[in-house]
Amino acid sequence: MSTLTRRHFSRLAVSAASTSILPGARSEPARSKRVIVAGAGIGGLCCAYELMERGHDVVVIEASRRTGGHVKTIRDPLPDGLYADVGAEHFTRPGYTMYWKYVEKFNLPWMPWKRRENMYRKIDGVWRTEAELADRAVLKGFGFRSHEIDYIIDHGWTELPTLYLEPFTAKFKDEYQPFGIGLDDLDHKLLGDVLAGSGASDAALRFIGATQRSSPAKPPGSGDVSALFRLWQSAIVRLRGLPVFKREVFHLKGGNQLLPDTFAAKLGDRVKLNCPIDSIEHGDHSVTVHFTENEKKQTISGDHLVIALSPLVLPKITVTPGWTEAKKYALQNTVMGMQSRVLLVAKSPFWKGDVPSINFETGDNRMSLVYETADDVPGESCVLMGSGQPVQTPDETLAAFRKFYPGKNPDTITHCIVHQWWKEEPYAFGCERHPFPFGQLVRMWPHLIEPAGNIHFVGAAYDNLPWGQDAATRSANRVADAIHAA
């Protein structure tokens, strides 16, 4: 690895470490800078807020008519005061360290969410409770080996990956540095091959999600995920002291949009809505952004530009001069997941007394997860939420639910809402970042998150672990630190 790349990693590590500072406890800037932030999602708003707090001149340009980006709380057409987060739905503890600091700083009301307690999982056509997935006979029936069964019983069903991953993940010491620790060759191997060599059973590979195996007839392809990428992502979780499955989750009372709304209120008229960007020009010391506001062409210049936009949106914007080949490759090869958010509205909680839990893992991609939301709202009316395919109809969704629901006919459901991000929020579609292409980690990292001159990148796509609001607030602080120190 080149000296230049190692220096980049060192700079990233220093910036990441600085995010442990409590928001608001900042030094005065050596010089006030003019900073343009493109995108008013939580990452862009957080970065703009941090820069404003440090004395910099900030303006936020947002293409849509709302702030929040992929953090979106809806109430209409839900009845009786119900609400649902159709974008980023939760945060965890432990974890989400920077996010929690803003919750506490702004004194935002938060609530525990039981959506990951008493999970009810459909496996091989059979619904299984958590107790059953800790039963030796059931586990033996799946084909686990005796030491794997012992580990699951001692540590829990969801922690099985640690049994085989920990010897590898323990080698990582810097969460921003996946290279140079003796595992670089694993970017050209599949995790299934690596773990099988460590003695993992076929059942363990299946439930760890490492069933892909190479063979002369089927060598790894670009659609596969490398062992190095999987191990690096798991190592970040380990370095942060988190479990594999984050069971303790929370949401803001009234909806998670409360935090970006709070950032936007603090920023005031520095935020300009309904202003899609047409083109960007950048030089050694300045950036100029051309955008459209109320059908009029506008231009604004500054010292730095912060791009808080999905990589899926960037091709629509002309950038002069163009990205370097390394940056261009990383942006063009970043794949973002897309899904719909599915809501089922019911007159009453029909599942109570009918099934062991409504926290489902269904195995059906039309509503892969099911859980209740807004249970803090008084009254009998309730709403179930889940994740669906990017395109599906309410009728298809409701039919799927009725087919896989393991209890009696849920006859109190009144209607279904499918929030399709590509349709409802064309400037914010695309959920979390997918794994990098097989064998291409060195071409993607750290080029994806590095600045291009005085253009910086924040958001869920531009951090080491792409966990929505966590990655957005982490990257926002990292970039604010870099601009402040420049």
Domain presence at residue 9: yes
Condensed to tens digits (0 to 9), the pLDDT of residues 68-119 reads 999 999 999 999 999 999 999 999 999 999 999 999 999 999 999 999 999 9
- pLDDT of 254 > 90? The answer is yes
- For the chain, give the mean pLDDT: 93
Tell me, what's the pLDDT at 26?
54
Give the end of a domain, one of 239, 270, 290: 239
378 and 292 together in one domain: no
Number of domains in the chain: 3
Q: How many residues make up the chain in this entry?
A: 486
Domain presence at residue 123: no
3-state secondary structure (DSSP) of residue 283:
coil
154 and 229 together in one domain: yes
Q: DSSP secondary structure string, 437-479?
A: PTT-HHHHTTTTTS-BTTEEE-SGGGSSS--HHHHHHHHHHHH
Alpha-carbon distance of 235 to 126, in angstroms, equals: 32
Number of neighbours of residue 337 by Cβ within 10 angstroms: 12
- pLDDT of 1 > 50? The answer is no
For the segment 205-217, the average pLDDT, to the nearest whole number, is: 90
274 and 285 together in one domain: yes
Domain presence at residue 198: yes
The answer to whether the CB of 387 falls within 8 A of the CB of 367 is yes
Locate 352 and state its tokens: 């109570």
Alpha-carbon distance of 385 to 256, in angstroms, equals: 15
319 and 374 together in one domain: no
234 and 134 together in one domain: yes
Reference 225, options 171, 264, 186, 256; nearest CA is 186
Domain presence at residue 246: no
Alpha-carbon distance of 371 to 384, in angstroms, equals: 5
Predicted confidence band of residue 58 (pLDDT cuts 50, 70, 90): very high
The answer to whether the CB of 291 falls within 8 A of the CB of 61 is yes
Reference 72, options 428, 452, 460; nearest CA is 428
317 and 439 together in one domain: yes
Domain presence at residue 363: yes
Domain presence at residue 189: yes
- pLDDT of 371 > 60? The answer is yes
Tell me, what's the pLDDT at 432?
87
133 and 234 together in one domain: yes
Sign of CA dihedral 201, 205, 211, 214: negative
231 and 320 together in one domain: no
CATH code at position 455: 3.50.50.60
29 CB-near residues (< 8 Å, 6+ apart): 54, 55, 56, 484
- pLDDT of 463 > 60? The answer is yes
Q: DSSP secondary structure string, 217-228?
A: TB---TTS-BHH
Give the end of a domain, one of 239, 264, 288: 239
Condensed to tens digits (0 to 9), the pLDDT of residues 281-296 reads 999 999 999 999 989 9
- pLDDT of 410 > 60? The answer is yes
Tell me, what's the pLDDT at 215?
81
Tell me, what's the pLDDT at 130?
97
416 and 442 together in one domain: no
Tell me, what's the pLDDT at 309?
97
Least confident of 184-198, 314-328, 408-422: 408-422
Tell me, what's the pLDDT at 4?
34
What's the CA angle centered on 132, arms 127 and 138, to 5 degrees? 95
305 CB-near residues (< 8 Å, 6+ apart): 35, 36, 37, 38, 280, 282, 287, 289, 454, 455, 456
28: buried, middle or exposed (CB in 10 Å: 19+, 13-18, 0-12)? exposed
Give the end of a domain, one of 424, 447, 467: 424
265 and 310 together in one domain: yes
372 and 481 together in one domain: no
- pLDDT of 462 > 70? The answer is yes
Domain presence at residue 161: yes
**What angle do helix axes 468-485 and 97-105 make, rounded to 10 degrees?**
80
- Structural domain for 176, as ranges: 129-239
- pLDDT of 21 > 60? The answer is no
Domain presence at residue 68: no
Alpha-carbon distance of 80 to 113, in angstroms, equals: 20
470 and 416 together in one domain: no
pTM over 0.85, yes/no: yes
Give the pairing of strands 318-320 and 277-282.
Answer: parallel
Least confident of 43-47, 217-221, 233-237, 305-309: 217-221
Alpha-carbon distance of 392 to 340, in angstroms, equals: 8
